[in-house]
Structure 1
Amino acid sequence: MGAAVFYHLTRRPVEVALPQLLEKARGAGWRIVVRGTDPGRMDWLDEKLWLGPEEGFLPHGVAGGAHDADQPILLTVGAGPAANDPACLMTLDGAEVTPEEVQALERVCILFDGLDEEALQRARAQWKALTAAGCSAQYWSEESGRWEKKAER
């Protein structure tokens, strides 16, 4: 059974924090699906990942292509099983996560903008829903300048 890990972004934007987390997940040997809520934002993220530093290139694709099942990292706005058979789900912008997904995957990472009150409220609601359903959860903050675990249930 996996765990939900909440990442409270206060110092780095998602386009900086996400690649670092993706590298760690890839280092664990996992396939990853990144779920957002807006197709335009996922296209923007796709571009950011392609334009990253050459030594930090993250092989990925946007869902809907002919090779979705082959992608180590798949960007999507769709819920449910991903074509690339991921071990890890990373969500952005308040994308939905079910307790069943947390329990079925190795890790679910929920990234949220700590400077956006709506995003904070959404993350709190997700924390309550997932922990009430019996899922393990951790809360990490970068407020001090580095990631620190602040809570665990």
Structure 2
Amino acid sequence: MPEFLFYHLQGRPLEQVLPTLLERSLARGWKAVVELSSRERLAGLDDRLWTYADESFLPHATAAEPDAATNPIVLTTAADNPNGAQVRFCVDGVRIPDALDAYERVILMFDGDDPDALASAREDWKKLRTLGIAATYWQQDETGRWEKKA
């Protein structure tokens, strides 16, 4: 069973926060898959990962590209695992999938200022608890640092 982490975004958008978490995943030797809710959001994040820092970029592909399986990070709108990733990021309103055995870690990132995203994250948290699965909850403080809340 994978480790589950909930990241409550406040004050900083996904596009600013996700690159750092992806870098940490790659530093551990993990491949990552990021599931987004729409092709438009996927296209925006695709562009952002190439330009998020002046001195570096995150090597990645979209699931639609022929070489997706060979990339360390794949962006998708489906519940697949095209690159055999060890960590799955569920962002932009995506819910925790039912098929999880392939992952070491599943991360749900949600916008704390969006009532629907907050409600969905609470439902997923309760679902895991009901199944007896532990999860950790992280929230951004006013400086953007992550604090473990549960």
Scaled to the shorter chain, the TM-score interval is over 0.9
Q: Which amino acid aligns with 1:148?
A: E
Q: Aligned residues, how many?
A: 149
Q: TM-score, normalised by structure 1?
A: 0.91
Instruction: Please say if residues 95 and 108 of structure 2, whose CA atoms lie closer than 8 Å, have aligned partners that are also in contact.
Output: no
Give the 3-state SS of the residue equivalent to 1:55 in structure 2: coil
* Alignment match, 1:32: 32
How far 1:56 sits from its partner (Å)? 3.0
Deviation at 1:55, TM superposition (A): 2.6
Do the aligned partners of 1:79 and 1:96 also contact (CA within 8 Å) in 2?
no
Report the aligned-residue RMSD.
1.4
> Residues 61-80 of structure 1 correspond to what in structure 2 (within 5 A)?
61-80=61-80
Equivalent in the alignment of 1:85 = 84
Q: Scaled by the length of structure 2, what TM-score is found? A: 0.93
How far, CA to CA, are the matches of 2:133 and 2:102 in structure 1?
A: 11
CA contact (8 A) 1:99 1:133 kept: no
Distance 1:127 1:149 in 2: 15
In structure 2, runs of 5+ residues without a counterpart are: none
2:97 corresponds to which residue? 98
Moved more, 92-101 or 62-71: 92-101
Name the CA shift for 1:134/1:99 in 2 (closer, same or farther; >3 Å).
farther
1:47 is displaced (CA, Å) by 0.7
The letter of the residue matching 2:55 is E
User: Unpaired runs of 5+ in structure 1?
Assistant: none
2: CA distance, partners of 1:64 / 1:133 = 34
Deviation by residue 1:40-87 (Cα, 9 ceiling, x = unmatched) = 10011101111222433100011111101101000000013x120000
Are 2:122 and 1:117 aligned? Answer: no
What is the aligned-residue identity percentage?
A: 42
* 1:48 aligned onto 2:48: yes
SS in 2 for 1:128: helix
